[in-house]
Amino acid sequence: MKTSSTIKRLSLIASGVALSTCVLAVDRANAQPILLDFEGLLDNEQILNFYDGGSGGNLGISFGDGAQAFISESAGGTGNFINEPSPDTTAFFLSSSGTNFLMNVTAGVTTGFFFFFSANATNPPTPVKVYDGLNGTGNLLATINLPNNAFDGCDPGINNTFCNWDPIGVSFLGTAKSVDFSAVANQIAFDNITLGRDTPCIDAADCRQVPEPTSVIGLLAISALGAGSVLQRKLLK
């Protein structure tokens, strides 16, 4: 009986160690949601690696050379927009500034992808596409068809081309690693891109309110390891 009891206790210890190993192996695809508000970029600056080791942090998120930041005219920039969700910088994808309109997320993201957008009145919006491979490769996980929201609810006679902003996005299964914005070049302004959540973040604090999915598992792992340590001490006596 004593031998059988010892084996059971050792199995529990091993289970705790195995569980902790699984938690450590969870990749960033299951991390806390990320908000990209583009604040800190200069007017007319290409976004590129701003969020991939640049001033925006090391989030493993990079943009193609067609992605560019603009600061609103009211804040001293050249951007012809108002009412943006997080003043004073937004993102555009311009064919005049590059040929690559992709956003890559190296570690991948799960659950969903959301953003605020503002369309102009000249060109009808076209789809944004989400893929499970980098650089717009692999399986198409989701397509976001943008409605034309130009000037909706804006003051009559307003001179700013982009004045109305709406949240839109999509939930998906799998892990997304790239988003293709090529179809919306020169047509749409973007702000507050949210990665890893099924609703858009209003600000960074709003994003932090969502707990990491691994937190509960982590607590279970710690508890299991603690129980294993107690049993191990008893076995050594």
**101-157 residue pLDDT tens:** 999 999 999 999 999 999 887 666 679 999 999 999 999 999 999 888 888 888 877
Higher pLDDT, 168 or 8: 168
* 62 bridge partner residues: 104
User: What is the pLDDT, as a whole number, of residue 8?
Assistant: 44
CB-based contact 79:43 (threshold 8 Å): yes
pLDDT (mean) for 175-196:
93
> How many Å from the N-terminal Cα to the C-terminal Cα in the chain?
17
CB-based contact 177:133 (threshold 8 Å): yes
Banded pLDDT at 206 (limits 50, 70, 90):
confident
DSSP structural state of residue 152: T
**What domains lie within the chain, and their CATH numbers?**
34-201 (2.60.120)
How crowded is the C-beta side of 184, counted as CA atoms within 13 Å?
26
Neighbouring residues of 175: CB distance < 8 A, sequence distance ≥ 6: 29, 108, 109, 110, 132
